[in-house]
Copies of this chain bind each other. A is one copy, B any other.
Amino acid sequence: MAAFDLLISLQIIGIAAFAVSGALVAGERQMDWFGVMLLGIIVAVGGGTLRDLLLAVPVFWTQASWYVVMAALCALATIPFAGWANRVRRPVAIADAFGLAVFVALGTRKALEAGTSGVVAVIMGVVTGIVGGIIRDVLANRTPIILRKEVYALAALCGATLFVFAERVGMQADYALWLSVAVTLTIRILAIHFNWSVPTLRVEPGDQE
């Protein structure tokens, strides 16, 4: 029960952090308050929505709309504090790391419960964690930050892979979940702290453009 409560608390922290990150990016693009609300919602539920569509299971928030309402409220609540944006980026990034960790683990578990293979479960975990942020950046008309630098998607990939591996070697599902959360969170926090990044690829633009 305590573990369950902790899971819910982490989910709430994650939804709030994701929604706030959407609201801040909306503000950087001078969107109106509706755009702020929508971007907050999309970051918070976008990844889980695509995961559920791909798994052909009911989209989670169509049966529990408090996710959407809460994301909308968190995004709107950001508006009066927008002047503080640059001072809250670091705490928001930390809260976002908690969200990422728990969303990846829950996404992986949902895929395994739906009977997918291990590879597909890992993909679904990563999709759950990163797709919201990718759509956010596409709507803000910039190349998704997650694809350009920072160890973000890689942290998700490690956490999801470890979950599947732990389950396959017989670890109890609950322990595997928390192990996955801990691994994603640790990698992500260390990456924020030490400014880790994945090497980039440079290709000369062709004549196509």
Chain A residues within 8 Å of B, Cβ to Cβ: 23-24, 26-36, 38-39, 49, 53-56, 58-59, 61-62, 65, 68-69, 78-79, 82, 85-86, 89, 116-117, 119-120, 123, 134, 138-149, 153-154, 157, 197-206, 208-209
Contact = CB atoms under 8 A, between A and B. Distances in A.
A67 to B, nearest CB: 10
B139 A34 contact: no
Given A39-B147, A82-B203, A198-B34, A120 B26 contact: no
A59 B143 CA distance: 27
Contacts of A65: 117, 119-120, 123
Contact of A209 (B138, B139, B142): B142
Contacts of A59: 54, 56
Contacts of A58: 56
Nearest to A111: B62
Q: How many copies does the complex hold?
A: 3
Dominant secondary structure at the A interface: helix
Contacts of A202: 27, 30, 82
Nearest to A144: B139
22 contacts: A23-B201, A24-B203, A24-B206, A26-B201, A27-B202, A27-B203, A29-B143, A29-B148, A31-B147, A32-B149, A34-B157, A36-B201, A38-B147, A54-B59, A56-B56, A61-B120, A82-B201, A86-B204, A138-B138, A138-B141, A139-B144, A145-B209
A206 B85 contact: yes
Contacts of A140: 143
A146 to B, nearest CB: 8
Given A142-B209, A144-B139, A200 B33 contact: yes
Nearest to A85: B203
A30 to B, nearest CB: 5
